[in-house]
Amino acid sequence: MKHRPSGCRLLLVLVTLASVGWAAAPEIVITTPMPAPGWAKLERQLLAEQVPACREFFQKYFDARGYLQCFVRWGANDGPDDAFENFNGWPELHALGADDEILRLYQRGHEGMLRQYTEARTVETPIAREGMYHREFIVQSDWMHHGEGLQLFNRMGLSLGAGDTLYAHRARRFAGFYLGEDPAAPNYDPRLKLIRSMQNGSRGPMLRQATALDWVGDSFDVSQFVAQHGERTYAEFLAHYEEYSDVAGDHFLNLGATVLPTLAFLIANESKYQQWLVDYMGAWLERMRRNGGVIPSFVDLDGTIGGPENKWWGNAYGWGFSPVNPVTGRRENRNRIPRAMVGFSNAVLLTGDLKYADAWRTMINAVNAHARIVDGRKQYPTMHGAQGWYGWQGEPWNIGALDLWYLSMRAEDRARLGENAWVAYLQGGDVDYPETALRRDLASVAQKTARFRADATPPERRLADNMLGNNPASITALTHLMQGGLIPGRDGGILFSRLRYFDPEKRRAGVPPDVAALVSGLTDRTTVVTLVNVSTSETRTVVVQGGAFGEHQIESAEVGGAQQAIGAGNFSVKLAPGSGAKLTLTMKRYANVPSLRLPWERR
């Protein structure tokens, strides 16, 4: 540990924030000079450079109404979910501290596309003939695609908070589609605690066999477009989904639906949302217990695991799903079990009970227990069908291992991860990692900007997913380094982070101007973070919150050898010009009721 140079002064003062307008949050004042580290300058640069890049992306691909300029289609390949994915990372970027223009742009795009896809209608595909969206939610889809399309909405609350009336109204309505309280969307069976089909939405569940047309959408001339999945004809589109017929009954993919009641709880703090999650996850934990620790992908409408033939591995995207890819002519394993982890994480967040993480660990061990020896080498399965386990690989099955370690902070879960540069850094690894990661994301912004500038495809020849690779928003390094957080996934899950920041002067989420943060250590009980004010003329104040939603209690802060009691879910740090310090926070994780309320809205 480096000693503080002589002559530097560190002033710690605990005061209340009555002048800022919320109750008794402690404040630490830092005056210790700290020349801006390279990582701090890079953080500020990355936050700044993404704003004009995102503005230009928006201007290229959206009109003034916020409508995506593309050939609008229904379908799992290039449908409504892909349209909304064009804003992936934008809500998180704003909530990290990027300019308010990011918020205004993605809100305009969100409102525009809600109208655009409500107006859009199919001719051949039955479910969307009266609109692809109904009541501002996709009419029917599976939770792989629901989750992808909801990434924007589910994370907007990081900036909007719980007090935005329209956002709160929508969150409660969407949750209602899955609580069994909306007769127009009977997706949930409250008696058996199951979602009745893997195809569900604002017009309810699909309880029949699905057809390729249901998945693909209306016929069109594929030769006029670049299909991202490689199909060359509409016939190949249909062939891709020929085997996607089994959809009725509950499926582990439906655990993605837990995001909606979770979000409603974070806004409204109503027990019914938490109780639904406890009930639904409890049913799944019991199914896992009865199925040898492994979560089934098919639960029949009567609640029977696997139906009358005990095909617990059944259903499209299930454990035994290996359809033919018409482009290659080969069978491909498409078990979408990674998307189920979101339900277990949400349950930990709302209850603070790590039994849900324990259940996932038990499943990892149960799958790997079926390993075999071939030619002296151990092989591990990834799939299960009528003939038993298959999809063998040389490494242990470790789906969800990063999320599991992040929830548990247990050494045995860390061991499953193998090489992970970020986690290694948190445990004392490569000291150059922060600058390397930030430079990589800066390069990504530049590369994607150059790519969309070079895109000469006219709007009528674009599919909704053609632009996804051009989205310049790059949040990986910022999320890891500033917040000690996981990157929210394509499952639509919400942010899990050790810390989050707020600007009390502007009353918004994110670090204030000139402030940079680096989380350099995480354990079950501690978080090490360095806060820096790169301005040499302005004092900055930042609110530091324990967890993305205040779920972690911050018990104390050690700064420069001095220990100060905090005893709250957040505290304030006032940084003199050109100052900074490393803080070691002692925390009790998942001790508080999580909420989307902003710090000054909490009492």
Question: Residue 4: what pLDDT?
Answer: 29
CB 218 within 8 A of CB 122: yes
> CB–CB of 600/507 below 8 Å?
yes
Query: Which amino acid makes up residue 417?
Result: L
Predicted confidence at residue 25, as pLDDT, reads: 75
DSSP 323: -
Q: Both tokens of residue 571? A: 């505290």
**In the chain, domain spans:** 27-33+498-596
- 566 touches 543 (CB < 8 A): no
Helix (H, G, I), strand (E, B) or coil at 60: helix
So what's the pLDDT on residue 12? 43
Which whole-number Å values give the CA distances from 590 to 151, 227, 272, 540, in the listed order?
A: 23, 44, 20, 29
Task: Give the CATH number of domain 27-33+498-596; options: 3.40.50.300, 3.40.50.740, 2.60.40.1180, 1.10.10.10.
Answer: 2.60.40.1180
Backbone angles phi and psi of 594, in degrees to 5: -70, 150
* pLDDT score for 554: 98
Residues of the chain with pLDDT under 50: 1-21, 23
* Residues pairing with 388 in the sheet: 385
Round to whole Å and give the CA distance between 501 and 515: 10
- The predicted pLDDT at position 603 comes to 64
Name the H helices within 128-164: 143-149, 151-160
How many angstroms separate the CA atoms of 580 and 44, rounded?
15
Our separate counts of H helices and E strands in the chain read 18, 20
Kind and range of the H or E element at 180? none
What's the CA gap between 473 and 529, in Å, rounded? Answer: 24
Of 286, 281, 290, 230, give the one whose Cα is nearest residue 256: 281
Residues 57-116 pLDDT 10s: 999 999 999 999 999 999 999 999 999 999 999 999 999 999 999 999 999 999 999 999
| Alpha-carbon span 54 to 471, nearest angstrom | 7
**Other CB atoms within 10 Å distance of the CB of residue 393:** 10
What number of CA atoms fall less than 13 Å from residue 51's CA on the CB side? 15
Contacts for 160 with CB less than 8 Å, ≥ 6 apart: 167, 596
Q: What does 373-404 look like in DSSP terms, one character per residue?
A: EETTEEEB--EEETTEEE--BSS---TTHHHH
pLDDT for 24: 54
Report the amino acid identity of residue 508. R
3-state secondary structure 266-309: HHHCCHHHHHHHHHHHHHHHHHHHHCCCCCCCCECCCCCECHHH
Which residue, chain included where needed, has tokens 């190949």?
A: 236
